[in-house]
Amino acid sequence: MLQLFGQVRNGTVRNLNIQQRVFNSFRHTYNEIRPHEALGDETPASRWTPSTRPYPERIAPPDYPRHVEVRRGSNAGTFRLHSGQHFLSQALNGHYIGLEEVQDGIWNILYYDTLLGRFDQRNKAITGAPSLRGKC
Q: pLDDT (tens digit, 0 to 9) for every residue of the chain, 136 residues total? A: 556 556 556 666 667 788 888 889 889 998 999 999 999 999 999 999 999 998 888 888 999 999 999 999 999 999 999 888 899 999 999 999 999 999 999 999 999 999 999 999 999 888 887 655 455 4
Residues 90 and 43 in one domain: no
- For residue 95, the enclosing domain spans 69-128
Q: What is the reported pTM?
A: 0.59
Helix (H, G, I), strand (E, B) or coil at 129: coil
**Is 100 domain-assigned?**
yes
**Is 104 domain-assigned?**
yes
| Strands 69-72, 96-103: pairing kind | antiparallel
**Is 113 domain-assigned?**
yes
**Is 14 domain-assigned?**
yes
**Is 85 domain-assigned?**
yes
Domain count, the chain: 2
**Is 56 domain-assigned?**
no
Helix (H, G, I), strand (E, B) or coil at 46: helix
